[in-house]
Amino acid sequence: MAWLNISLELPEREASACVELLHEFGALSVSSVDAADTPVLEPLPGTNPLWERVRVCALFELAANLEGLSDLLSRELQREVILDITFLESRDWSQTWREYADSYRFGNRLWVVPTHWEKSENQEPEQGQALPFDGALLRLDPGLAFGTGNHATTFMCLAWLAKAELKETTVIDYGCGSGILALAAILLGAHKAFAIDYDDQALTATQYNATINKIENERLAVLGVDALRNYVQARDQFKVDIVLANILMNPLLTLSDQLVLFIRSGGSLVLSGILEAQITRVQHAYPAIRFESPVIKDGWACLVGTKTNE
């Protein structure tokens, strides 16, 4: 089966009205994307800002009256609207990502590969990179809570884990998403990891990924924020060796006291999801942490430090 895919570029002030009109005209689906490479980062609570230029895309059945749609949009927006129209063939989109899935190596200790990858006789992942070591193999697919190691913030955290001495350590992955950092820590030798998130979908994805990687429940606790609070309250002097938080600057500032409280004296804090221009502000929010020089990748920063006091 095929569909008609229409798209048009609009200023932000017209985008919402256009989306409503497309739905009223019978669109099967409507989406909005950035048309001018101006990402929106950390919007204020209660706001849903769009980009200055928005590309609105919609799917219609082949029999749709697109001439009538063009007339409707032109009349309502009070200017001539020209639609970009293409055909979209039916595909199994749940599997299409496999064509583009990559494998990533971190040092000589960790590979992150798609779940469908099978080790060949030459021990080479699908993209042809050699696997000349007996390190940890973490299987992970894009899913409800995306996170497979390709984004700079996750990449830097995984690179740090691949170099760290994790044997018998306890780790918190705060804002775990897909659970990639908690799972990697366990596969690299951590005794136990706590994967924490506000989002139920993230917790579901983390538990699923743990199952795929055959990680025992005794070594991984997947908890919501309230469940973590109850867990800590039920134990005296709950401390871990490492806290990882790959989130964004605002929650890192809000959570600074809490994250530091989890860490034993001499333990490590790894923060990412920070833009390069935000480094100093984040560092100042953690006076009990002695930070190393920031690691920078693609405009993002990873901060690693040691807790100096109780």
> Domain range for residue 78?
2-90
Q: Of 38 and 258, which is predicted with more confidence?
A: 258
* 78 & 173 share domain: no
pLDDT single digits (tens) 122-145: 444 444 444 445 578 888 875 544
pLDDT digits (tens, 9 = 90+) for 89-121: 665 544 444 444 455 677 778 888 777 666 544
For the entire predicted model, the pTM comes to: 0.65
Helix axes 12-24, 66-77, angle to 10 degrees: 140
Model pLDDT, residue 173: 97
Asked whether residue 227 falls in the same domain as residue 184, the answer is: yes
The pLDDT of residue 277: 92
| 65 and 122 part of one domain | no
Check if the beta carbon of residue 194 is closer than 8 Å to that of residue 228: yes
Domain total in the chain: 2
- SS3 label, residue 114: coil
| CB contact set of 218 (below 8 Å; sequence gap of 6+) | 192
We report the CATH number of the domain holding residue 68 as 3.30.70.260
CATH number of the structural domain spanning residue 225: 3.40.50.150
**Cβ neighbours of residue 118 under 8 Å, at least 6 residues apart?**
none
Q: For residues 125 and 103, give the distance between their C-alpha atoms in angstroms, rounded to a whole number.
A: 7
- State which of 70, 90, 110 marks the end of a domain: 90
Site of tokens 């990891």: 193
Where do we find the tokens 């740090």? 160
Whether residue 263 sits in one domain with residue 148: yes
- Mark whether 136 and 162 lie in a shared domain: yes
Q: Is the pLDDT at 174 greater than 60, yes or no?
A: yes
Do 185 and 104 lie in one domain? The reply is yes
State how far the Cα of 17 lies from the Cα of 76, in Å rounded to an integer: 9
Cα within 13 Å of Cα(309), Cβ side? 3
- pLDDT at position 182: 96
Q: What is the mean pLDDT of the chain?
A: 82
Query: Which is higher by pLDDT, 260 or 41?
Result: 260
Contacts of 13 (CB under 8 A, 6+ apart): none
Domain stops at, among 90, 109, 128: 90
Q: State what percent of residues in the chain have pLDDT above 70.
A: 79
Task: Encode pLDDT of 40-69 as tens digits.
Answer: 444 444 444 456 788 888 888 888 888 888
Cβ-contact 105, 111 below 8 angstroms: yes
Q: What is d(CA 288, CA 309) in angstroms, rounded to the nearest whole number?
A: 6
